[in-house]
Structure 1
């Protein structure tokens, strides 16, 4: 496949893959073929900028022009009507129906765990099945042996990590609420996880900074450090979690922050009031900018789905 191409559409930068959704052969020249996305904009007002149509010539050169359609945004449930697949949640449901692994997102014990969390009154803010399996893929891809999670809730994301670790692995998870921790423990037992997660109950920063606690020594002194750290907790404290995670992550490890986009609130203009749930993340991004690549390599990915517009940030420690 040829490389993606960035184009401008509706005043925004879009990334179109070649070839896109539908390929139609051009009839004006036997050695040319033209193709373009077949999605149309949901509006009565045509967009003259539209989306790019590419023409690939036999000599390898590329011509392109704008046509009067653009990539759609996901529809609301009301807009979609009898076409729920055009909503972000509908696509999430489709992807999960196709990609949910029997030992991961489709594990009946995981579904029982979500039901147990609902019955206990826990907030419905666990990661989606797709993000859970992404975390499992990441854990396996980096050949992680040690994982630290900040924010256990009912243990849904914790289970994906535990399932992806080798049997000799270790997973520590920190949860503020004793009630949440109790539900998570019940879920871990139901899942029969091995390695079994160790739940540390209490304020995360107090636990992480305890000079006599399990996280006192940085990597290299007593232990090799964590391969993966996942942060999904109090958003205002994200920068403090970042500092501690960076201390505890080994060189070559990764740190993942959930809810890194916050429906666009992360990107308010300089000088504007920053929403409280974005302050910690902006401090992280400011630190990374000032660090200029000396310590970390990072990216933030916007997502749409069952939890609407959000995303995650991933940080690689040099």
Structure 2
């Protein structure tokens, strides 16, 4: 009763605030609902994809795992990047020849397998995935493809939480103290620029040269506009190396050597 008595005098103010901000409240509500639905659909997609790949591929064969992913995607919704983006990613990896790779957004493990199969024997992949279920299933797929835990590490957290901890994972091995040679961003495009700035702040981008690959799944130019405008404004040490509708490669180079971007499409 006392709560009702206290609330009655506040009703006019509550009604006014609700009326004034109801559009924003409804917008936030719909955004939250959409996020939950995307998460649920994503989990269903990851579970079904994992089950198909696990049962149909040849275990221990990375190429078989990728082919089974692609086979599944021909008739079912899939979160994997697919062969078109995958082949473009392969071209960058073969040119850069990285030994230390960071992947933000693991999804089904498809791109993790593509990356690992092209790394040198001493190469290492650190992949970050926000959803625990997706991270667990993706890790299992990597193991099914024939890779060992000594070659990769899965971090289950947001990219913003994971990035400040990465230096401690690299420092024990002096060969990796320079940072990452290649970074693949395939998570939330709104996090691309904040995460790039944090990677730079934490000195996690190899100063002698690091390729940062941005995946644009929806193929909308506006999704990458903010980070690309930022890169163009810092042409002294970073530039757009390759630009496709579905993928952009940024070349980051802090040392005195000239940044070359002659492969831009």
TM-score by length of 2: 0.61
Contact 2:240 2:250 in 1 (8 A): yes
Aligned twin of 2:16: none
Cα distance per residue 1:12-45 (max 9 Å; x no partner): xxxxxxxxxxxxxxxxxxxxxxxxxxxxxxxxxx
Q: Which has the higher relative contact order, 1 or 2, with Cα contacts under 8 A spaced 6 or more apart?
A: 2
User: Higher strand fraction: Structure 1 or Structure 2?
Assistant: 1
The structure 2 residue matched to 1:200, chosen from 147, 152, 155, is 155
Q: Does 1:137 align with 2:79?
A: no
Q: Does 1:285 align with 2:232?
A: no
Task: Give unpaired runs (5+ residues) of structure 2.
Answer: 1-60, 254-265
Work out the CA distance in 2 between the residues paired with 1:114 and 1:185: 18
Deviation of 1:170 after TM superposition, in Å, equals 0.7
Task: Give unpaired runs (5+ residues) of structure 1.
Answer: 1-104, 267-277, 304-310
Contact 2:100 2:176 in 1 (8 A): no
Aligned twin of 1:301: 243
Deviation of 1:137 after TM superposition, in Å, equals 2.8
The SS at the match of 2:151 is: coil
Contact 1:188 1:196 in 2 (8 A): no
Q: Does 1:317 align with 2:259?
A: no
Cα distance per residue 1:260-318 (max 9 Å; x no partner): 7x44451xxxxxxxxxxx2xx32212212322x11202145233xxxxxxx21111112
Work out the CA distance in 2 between the residues paired with 1:182 and 1:130: 26
Work out the CA distance in 1 between the residues paired with 2:175 and 2:99: 17
RMSD in angstroms over aligned alpha carbons? 3.2
Work out the CA distance in 1 between the residues paired with 2:87 and 2:123: 18
Deviation of 1:258 after TM superposition, in Å, equals 0.4
The SS at the match of 2:244 is: strand
Deviation of 1:221 after TM superposition, in Å, equals 11
Contact 2:125 2:153 in 1 (8 A): yes
Q: Does 1:214 align with 2:169?
A: yes
Work out the CA distance in 2 between the residues paired with 1:176 and 1:210: 15
Aligned residues: 186
Larger of the two Rg values belongs to structure? 1
Aligned twin of 2:64: 108
Shift of the 299–167 alpha-carbon distance from structure 1 to 2, 3 Å rule, reads closer
Aligned twin of 2:205: 249
User: Higher helix fraction: Structure 1 or Structure 2?
Assistant: 2
Contact 2:62 2:117 in 1 (8 A): no
